[in-house]
Amino acid sequence: MKKVLIIGASSGYGQALVEEYIEQSWIVFGVARSSYVSDNIHTQYEVSDFCNLPLYRNDIKNILQKENDIDLVIFVAGNVILKDKSEHVEQDILDMYANNLGYIRVTIELLELLGMNPDVISFGSQWSYKVGEEYLYWYSIMKHALKYFMKQQEKLRTCYHFYIPTTSTPKAQKIVEEISKSKENSGIVFKKDVTAKSVSKKVYKAYISGNSDSACLLGDLESSEEEDDEFDSILRSLNNFGYSDIINLIK
């Protein structure tokens, strides 16, 4: 039986992926900040807050050393801090880096260090295309940086970066409400009849087929050259405004 390690397994897409891979007869190991993931999971692991990368590194290293024959690692954990761009302090930015990109980098570095070469899946979202959105500004930057990072990893291992739709969860609704306070239209569109369960089935099917191109269409989204150019110009402007340390982290 094949083995999958799902990081960010306690809710939403993560929990749905746990159930999907169990249904497909995989041995599933779940990693989350909370102790409960699923009654059917093979093993559940609890890790420190992803914001504290040294502690997370120690936790995930212990897990990888114990489960050293993993076939697939799925990175689902991610977080957005709901503040207007002007209200974010440096720690907010560092936290969003750690929660959306940093922990993935740490894990992959450890995989290399331990001589492990599983396939890897990560996720972008509908929100990661809203580069100019004030409430999603830094989250969008981290998601774009993750996309570029995964493109680099494609040269070293089998990688998939899936663009998935926004489902109407309580957290997603809260984000839309916050954004709508400052503008008439949040720009966030919830796909009808799309659930975490239905998307997890598409993720599994795309992965098994080995077709990363079809995987990118899970949310009917593709990154355009204009969006990439906008992201690059934002990075340049951030450097001019004294964010060089942040730029060095995410590039």
Q: What is the CATH number of the domain that holds 120?
A: 3.40.50.720
Q: What percent of the chain has pLDDT over 90?
A: 29
Residue 177 in domain: no
Task: Give the pLDDT confidence score for residue 233 in this predicted structure.
Answer: 63
pLDDT-derived band at 13 (thresholds 50, 70, 90) equals confident
Instruction: Tell me the per-residue pLDDT of 146-173, one tens digit each, with 9 for 90 and over.
Output: 888 888 898 889 998 887 766 666 666 6
Please say if the pLDDT value at position 175 is more than 60.
yes
Q: Kindly list the strands in the beta sheet with 72-75, ordered across the sheet, starting from the edge strand earlier in the chain.
A: 43-46, 27-32, 3-7, 72-75, 119-125, 159-164
| Tokens 């050293």 -> residue | 68
Question: Residue 82: inside a domain, yes or no?
Answer: yes
Q: Is residue 161 part of a domain?
A: yes
In a domain, 247, yes or no: no
**Domain ranges, residue 20:** 3-165+196-223
Q: Number of structural domains, the chain?
A: 1
- Considering 30-39, 133-142, 202-211, the range whose residues carry the highest mean pLDDT is 202-211
Q: Bridge partners of 160?
A: 121
**Each residue's pLDDT tens digit, 75-98:** 999 888 877 777 888 888 888 889
